[in-house]
């Protein structure tokens, strides 16, 4: 498994507060992804990165921004958190976009927005 | 129509039986297919991948792919209580982005 850590693991915040979640990987994987997981919706892609400073939007990107200044770190920012962003957030990495490669997931961050 | 469809379950099977989990997908151009297992409160864990039509076996797990029918399945033989989890079907699209189904919850009863 890829060495992926996420911080914080749990966070409670208030509506309107900015929040940044961090994903750190030690595998030198090129691709990194942020998902959110909600009951009834499964895992949905928020943003992804295909290299340092190269990012793109996923399925549910509104209200989120990302940055990747180093290969090992991918940050997800909620500029002004809302209750609808209460969720479990997973980071994933992918070594190479070959047809036989796949994504490995970090442990997740549980975010509660009050 | 969701791009990847799974029955949410729960699917209940007795210990020692075969569990059969199914998944359909809408994008005919999909090339790679994955099954992840997710225990409650944990992150998804890859258990099987399949890329060509037919069956692929790994221990007690068999993945089956039928691209013409846009259908992927996972069979778990000799089901154990430790197999009780949610199983996520995922399909690769562009930029190696995965599209997930909502998952099927499997319960293995004693």
Q: What is the pLDDT of residues B49-87, one digit of tens each?
A: 999 999 999 999 999 999 999 999 999 999 999 999 999
pLDDT single digits (tens) A65-98: 999 999 999 999 999 999 999 999 999 998 765 6
**Rounded to whole angstroms, how far apart are CA atoms B88 and B53?**
19
Give the DSSP letter of residue B18: P
Residues of A in contact with B99 (CB under 8 A): 45
pLDDT score for B96: 72
CB contact under 8 A, B88 and A104: no
Q: Do B88 and A45 touch (CB under 8 A)?
A: no
Distances (CA, A) of A2 to A48, A57, A92, A103, B48: 17, 23, 9, 9, 16
- Predicted confidence at residue B95, as pLDDT, reads 63
Q: pLDDT for A21-56, tens place per residue?
A: 999 999 888 899 999 999 888 899 999 998 999 999
A74 in contact with chain B, both atoms CB, cutoff 8 A: no
CA dihedral angle for residue A64, residue A38, residue B90, residue B7, rounded to 10 degrees: -150
């Amino acid at each position: 498994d890829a060495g992926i850590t996420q911080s914080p693991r749990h966070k409670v915040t208030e509506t309107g507060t900015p929040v940044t979640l961090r994903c750190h990987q030690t595998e030198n994987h090129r691709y990194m992804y942020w998902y959110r997981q909600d009951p009834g919706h499964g895992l949905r892609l928020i943003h992804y990165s295909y290299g340092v400073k190269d990012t793109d939007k996923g399925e549910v990107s509104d209200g989120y921004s990302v940055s990747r200044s180093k290969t090992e770190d991918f940050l997800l920012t909620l500029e002004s958190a809302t209750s609808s962003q209460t969720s479990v957030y997973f980071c994933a990495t992918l070594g190479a976009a070959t047809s036989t490669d796949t994504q490995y997931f970090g442990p997740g961050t549980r975010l509660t927005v009050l | 129509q969701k791009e990847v469809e799974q029955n949410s379950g729960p699917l209940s099977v007795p210990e020692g039986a075969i569990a059969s989990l199914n998944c359909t997908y809408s994008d005919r151009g999909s090339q790679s297919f994955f099954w992840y297992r997710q225990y409650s409160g944990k992150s998804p864990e890859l258990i099987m991948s399949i890329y060509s039509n037919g069956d692929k076996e790994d221990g007690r797990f068999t993945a089956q792919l039928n691209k013409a029918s846009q259908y992927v399945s996972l069979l778990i033989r000799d089901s154990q209580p430790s197999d009780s989890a949610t199983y996520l079907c995922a399909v690769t699209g562009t930029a190696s982005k995965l599209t997930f189904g909502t998952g099927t919850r499997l319960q293995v009863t004693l």
